[in-house]
Amino acid sequence: MSIKVKNLSYTYSPKTPYEHKALEDITFTIEEGETVGIIGSTGSGKSTLVQHFNALIKLQSGDLVVNGIDLAAKKINYKELRRDIGMLFQYPEYQLFEDTVAKDVAFGPKNFGYKKEEIDLLVKEAITLVGLDYEEVKDKSPFELSGGEKRRVAIAGVIASRPKVLVLDEPTAGLDPVGKREILELIHKLKSAYVKTVIMISHNMDEIAEFTDRVIVLNDKYLIHSTTPDNLFRDENALNGTGLRYPHVVRIQNLLRENGLDINLEKFTVDSLINEIEKEVFKKDN
Amino acid sequence: MARDLTLGQYYPVESFVHKLDPRVKFIIMTMYIVGVFLVKHMYGFIVVAAFAILSTLISRVPILSVLKSLKGILFIVIFTAILNVFFHKEGRVYFTIGKLLVTEGGVFFAVKMALRLILLVLGTTLLTYTTTPMALTDGLERLMTPLSWIKIPVHDIAIIMSISLRFIPILMEEVQKIMKAQRARGAEFDKGGLIKRAKALLPILIPLFISAFRRADELALALDARCYNATPNRTRYKKLKFTYRDLIALLSGISYIVLIVAINHRFWIPDLIYSIPFV
Ligand SMILES: Nc1ncnc2c1ncn2[C@@H]1O[C@H](COP(=O)(O)OP(=O)(O)OP(=O)(O)O)[C@@H](O)[C@H]1O
Ligand SMILES: [Mg+2]
């Protein structure tokens, strides 16, 4: 179970006045078990890239092998591919349409050909996993839920088909800080218990720094980095010219260092930052 | 595909035709259409076709793109042509199929009607190819201004039109997004019979309607918040200007009509050419 991308390029509306190159010569590999973050400024091609993984966008040039399926082949088993690569779009609550939550979550499993009894189990499991009370919400209309709850239902709708890879396009966009945190923790939980591989697009560097073990950086249709958050954020010039900023914890760490505190974060989390500061201040006091 | 539709059909190049005042384009389009319906003789059709082709050449829109618009009406053209051949009986009989007669008059009538349809679509396509939707409504509003003297809310109509036009591409993009999201969940839109396909549309239509209503609500609020009201004396961001180009265009439009009427009534045109068959 891996995703191998080689020399992939993509152009929207080729050979028209609206022709637009969105990706150019992209090469990287994602192995099973990884949590990969994809970052890049607006329009750098992130969404275009991930939509290749489940063939929502047809491969134009280059090679792409997903889960052993060669997407350059003439005949592709789309059902199998899309079942294995679960994809959550930006603002996924706008895709809800059934009159009850349970039915909406069952949409995917039904399409992918799971059996009736299986579907009931999968739906129940998925709704519970995303932290909702199955009995309470199953007969509710998805439209009477809160924004955060809707997003959970949408996530449940994706994981109910038991994908092996979960691709999330800005899963926390438009939520308040608490909601963001909850969704991130949910993704983290899913990763350790349910899906093997997670690929997450995000504009929030702190999320990326904290939750991923590899970062792919796109800049204006080119891939410019594919490395650990550690390597990326320690290199002070890595994001030059991309319009991206470093995570807050890294920027605070750098400022403190410039001002004489010897801080070296092990993990890019606020907790770790506080710990380090406490340690340093404690040392100075003595 | 989304972006092709995103801007209506506007084809963004610089040309004489693109730069024309939209009002002038509307007037010429009206003349053109009147011409299409007035022509009787094949020579008249040549004038109309020449007008359309010349305009296309000047507009620098690839002829092939304009011809593509015919794909949509091909069926109608062929269908009506066949009907016309059989139901119009006049002149020499070419042959019979069962009880149906194929006559000389029928064939000419059918060919002319088909040509009219084709030329009509070609001309109007060129208009949308060379004029942004905004310019179209703006031009239309100006042309309809006299109607406001008899208390027709021209400005309101225009604003409704331009908002609708503005939202078509947004909704198209929305459709694409929703389709992708549902396809990611295993939905298929091109499989099965008619009923199955119609049912498969629900997961697109429901989210689409919800989002359309949400957008309408938001837009209404935003307009209110900025104290928008359609007072008649609003100033404009883009002033329409009448230039020498518009004059040239208008003059050629007028000569076009004159020429067609002349051919129809055999003014100036040597009788000789009318003696050639098929006119
Ligand atoms: N359907 C489309 N037709 C034409 N061009 C498109 C289409 N979708 C995206 N593009 C263009 O391709 C480029 C890459 O778009 P993409 O959506 O992949 O960017 P992104 O990195 O996901 O940006 P964002 O962070 O804003 O979501 C952009 O310049 C965009 O304008
Ligand atoms: Mg995107």
Q: What pLDDT digit, counting tens, does each position of B131-176 carry?
A: 887 788 888 888 888 888 888 888 888 888 888 877 888 888 899 9
| The predicted structure's pLDDT at residue B204 | 92
* pLDDT range class, residue B230, cuts 50, 70, 90: low
Reported confidence tier of residue B231, pLDDT bands at 50, 70, 90: low
A9 and A35 both lie in a single domain: yes
Hey, which of A46, A216, A224 would you mutate to test ligand 1's pocket, going by the most ligand atoms within 8 Å of its Cβ?
Answer: A46
**From CA A16, how far away is CA B4, in angstroms rounded?**
8
Once rounded to an integer, what is the mean pLDDT over residues B242-255?
92
The answer, yes or no, to whether ipTM is higher than 0.90 is no
pLDDT band of B3, cuts 50, 70, 90:
very low
The rounded mean pLDDT for chain A is: 90
One domain, residues A241 and A260: no
- How much is the pLDDT for B270? 64
A227 pocket-lining for ligand 1 (C-beta < 6 Å): no
Of the bound ligands, which one is closest to the alpha carbon of residue A51?
Answer: 1
| B-chain residues near A49 (CB < 8 A) | none
What pLDDT is recorded for position B276?
57
Query: Would residue A106 count as lying in a domain?
Result: no
Same domain, A285 and A212: no
A170/A268 same-domain check: no
Distance from the B12 Cα atom to the nearest Cα atom in chain A, whole angstroms: 7
Task: Please choose, from the candidates A86, A68, A105, A43, the residue with its C-alpha nearest in 3D space to the C-alpha of residue A200.
Answer: A86
pLDDT of residue B195: 85
- Facing A97 at nearest CB: one of B7, B180, B207: B207
Give residue B114's pLDDT: 92
**B148 and chain A: CB distance < 8 Å anywhere?**
no
Average pLDDT over residues A242-269: 85
Please name the member of B4, B186, B202 whose beta carbon is closest to the beta carbon of A108.
B186
Cα B260 to ligand 2 centroid, rounded to whole Å? 55
| Pair A221, A251 in one domain | no
pLDDT score at A257: 85
Q: Choose among A213, A248, A240: nearest CA to A224.
A: A240
Summarised one tens digit per residue, pLDDT across range A170-205 is 999 988 888 899 999 999 999 888 889 999 999 989
pLDDT-derived band at A162, boundaries 50, 70, 90: very high
HSE-up (13 A, CA, CB side) for residue B277? 5
Q: Counting Cβ atoms within 10 Å, is residue B187 exposed (0-12), middle (13-18) or buried (19+)?
A: buried
Is B4 within 8 Å of A161 when comparing Cβ atoms?
A: no
Whether B217 has its CB under 8 Å from any CB of chain A: the answer is no
Question: Does one domain contain both A168 and A268?
Answer: no
Q: Quote the minimal CA–CA distance from B174 to chain A in Å.
A: 10
* Three-class DSSP labels, B68-104: HCCHHHHHHHHHHHHHHHHHCCCCCEEEEECCEEEEH
In order, the DSSP letters of B166-232 are HHHHHHHHHHHHHHHHHHHTT--SSSS-HHHHHHHTHHHHHHHHHHHHHHHHHHHHHHHHTT----T
The number of beta carbons lying within 10 Å of the beta carbon of residue B178 is: 22
A-chain CB neighbours of B211 within 8 Å are: 94
Q: Any residues with CB less than 8 A from the CB of A9 and at least 6 apart, and which?
A: A21, A23, A24, A25, A26, A60, A61, A62
First to last CA, chain B: 43
Residue to probe by mutation, ligand 1, list B3, B6, B176, most atoms within 8 Å of CB: B3
Amino acid at B100: L
Strand partners, A201: A38, A169
Residue B227: what are its φ and ψ, rounded to 5°? Answer: 55, 35
Does A147 reside within a domain?
A: no
Q: Which of A53-62, B117-126, B231-240 has the lowest mean pLDDT?
A: B231-240
In a domain, A22, yes or no: yes
Q: Which of B261, B258, B262 is nearest to B250 (CA)?
A: B258
Looking at residue A261, what is its pLDDT?
Answer: 80
pLDDT at B122 over 60: yes
Interface test with B, best of A21, A57, A111 (most B CBs within 10 A): A111
Lowest mean pLDDT, pick from A56-65, A203-212, A242-251, B5-14: B5-14
In tens, the pLDDT along B61-79 reads: 988 888 888 887 888 899 9
In a domain, A148, yes or no: no
- pLDDT at res. B144: 86
At residue A167 the predicted structure's pLDDT band, cuts being 50, 70 and 90, is very high
Taken in order A92, A94, A95, A101, is the CA torsion positive or negative? positive
A68 within a domain of the structure (yes/no): yes
Percent of chain B with pLDDT over 90: 30
pLDDT bracket for residue B273 (50, 70, 90)? low
Nearest residue in chain A measured CA to CA from B175? A95
pLDDT at B274: 59
Distance CA B154, CA B147 (A): 7
pLDDT digits (tens, 9 = 90+) for A76-133: 889 999 999 999 998 888 889 999 999 999 999 999 999 999 999 999 999 999 999 9
Do A214 and A268 sit in the same domain of this protein?
no
Comparing B17-26, B129-138, B235-244, which segment has the lowest mean pLDDT? B235-244
Assess whether pLDDT exceeds 80 at residue B91: no
Among protein residues, the one with the nearest Cα to ligand 1's atom 6 is A12
pLDDT at residue B6 greater than cutoff 50: no
Query: pTM value?
Result: 0.79
Q: Ligand 1 within 6 A of A286 CB? A: no
Residues in Cβ contact with A191 at an 8 Å cutoff, skipping those fewer than 6 apart: A35, A166, A198
Above 90 in pLDDT, residue A153? yes
A169 shares a domain with A71:
yes
> What is the CA A218 to chain-centroid distance, rounded?
14
Mean pLDDT of chain B: 84
A48 in contact with chain B, both atoms CB, cutoff 8 A: no
**Mean pLDDT confidence for A58-68:** 92
User: In this structure, are A259 and A235 located in the same domain?
Assistant: no
Would the CB of B2 count as within 6 Å of ligand 1?
yes
Q: pLDDT by residue (tens digit) across B21-40? A: 999 999 999 999 999 999 98
Q: Does the beta carbon of A42 lie inside 6 Å of ligand 1?
A: yes
Same-domain pairing of A241 and A271: no
The pair of three-digit structure tokens given for residue B10, joined into one six-digit string: 């506007």
d(CA A141, CA B181): 19
Question: Is A14 in the same domain as A46?
Answer: yes
Task: Tell me which residue range forms the domain holding A58.
Answer: 1-76+164-180+192-245
Count of domains for chain A: 2
Q: In this structure, what DSSP letter does residue B109 have?
A: H
How many residues are recorded in chain B?
279
CB contact under 8 A, A83 and B187: no
Ligand 1 within 6 A of A244 CB?
no
CA distance A57 to A75: 15
B3 close to ligand 1 (CB < 6 Angstrom): yes
- Cβ distance of B180 and A89 shorter than 8 Å: yes
In chain B, the residue whose alpha carbon lies closest to the alpha carbon of A169 is: B181
Q: Which residues sit opposite B44 in a β-bridge?
A: none
Let me know if residue A38 belongs to a domain. Answer: yes
Residue A153 resides in a domain = no
Test mutation, B175, B183, B185, chain A, max A CBs within 10 A: B185
Residue A56 lies in a domain: yes
Q: What is the CATH number of the domain that holds A4?
A: 3.40.50.300
For A215, list phi and psi in degrees, rounded to 5.
-125, 130
């009538």: which residue's tokens? B109
The pairing of beta strand A35-39 with beta strand A214-219: parallel
Q: Does A53 touch chain B (CB under 8 A)?
A: no
Structure token pair of residue B117: 């349809």
- Choose among A12, A13, A56: nearest Cβ to B184: A56
Residues A27 and A52 in one domain: yes
Instruction: Please tell me which of B55-69, B72-86, B246-260 the model is most confident about, judged by mean pLDDT.
Output: B246-260
Res. B1: pLDDT tops 50: no
Cβ atoms of A26 and A5 closer than 8 Å: yes
Q: Is ligand 1 within 6 A of the CB of residue A44?
A: yes
pLDDT at A23 > cutoff 50: yes
Residues facing A199 on adjacent strands:
A36, A167
